Amino acid sequence: MSKVGKQPIEIPERVTVDLKDNQVTVVGSKGKLEQEIRPEIEVKKSGEQILVLAKSKSKLSRSLHGLTRTLISNMIEGVVKGFEKTLELHGVGYRVFLEGESLKISVGFSHPVIIKPVKGITYEIEGDNVIKVLGIDKQLVGQIAAKIREVRKPEPYKGKGIRYQGEVVKKKPGKAAKAEAEGA
């Protein structure tokens, strides 16, 4: 049995959880999320707790046990608090603007890159080089943040590009520094 899967999930006040035909629906103050549950897993509601049980001891059901519990826990956290990923732009002239609901990112290309809004995701801009991706679905927030980072990944020589807040880019020495080290 999974250590994570065995733990019950507490349902906070003002959050409703419905279980119907391998479908979990969580409704809270920030919105509504749905997740389909695999047939190898059983989800029960007892009072103000949700229990996730593996139907058999097969490898597949054991591996899905902890995953399902974490997915439901993240759904509850999302409708109560929400999730956020912060990205920073590093580089001379690298800027981001909010045009309506779309992001307009200028990162050294001949044209600005426009990222269209996605249902359930909102963007916030701090200054002209910090992007906050906000939403209630943890997976979608991470996916959109990764898509924005993919526009211009941090390069290893100068560290320019889009990176997550707190991400450390290990810099490589350039040709000149390498040649000096060999010649000395």
Q: What does the pLDDT read at residue 5?
A: 84
The Cα 174–Cα 156 span in angstroms is 10
Same CATH topology for 3-80 and 83-164: the answer is yes
Residue 184 has pLDDT above 70, yes or no: no
Q: Is the pLDDT of residue 160 over 70?
A: yes
Q: Provide, rounded to the nearest whole percent, the portion of the chain with pLDDT above 70.
A: 96
How many helices (H) and strands (E) the chain has is answered by: 4, 13
What is the structure's pLDDT at 175? 81
Distance from C-alpha of 10 to C-alpha of 51, rounded to nearest angstrom:
9
pLDDT for the residue numbered 183: 63
Give the mean pLDDT of the chain. Answer: 91
> What's the whole-number mean pLDDT along residues 159-171?
93
Name every residue whose Cβ is closer than 8 Å to that of residue 50 and which is 6 or more positions away in sequence.
8, 9, 11, 17, 43, 44, 72
More confident residue, 47 or 123: 123
Report the CATH number of the 3-80 domain.
Answer: 3.90.930.12
**Chain CA centroid to CA 107, Å:** 22
Dihedral sign (CA 168, 174, 176, 177): positive
Rounded distance between C-alpha atoms, residue 35 and residue 140, angstroms: 13
Q: What is the mean pLDDT of residues 139-144?
A: 96
| Domain ranges, ordered by start, for the chain | 3-80, 83-164
Range 83-164: architecture per CATH: Alpha-Beta Complex (3.90)
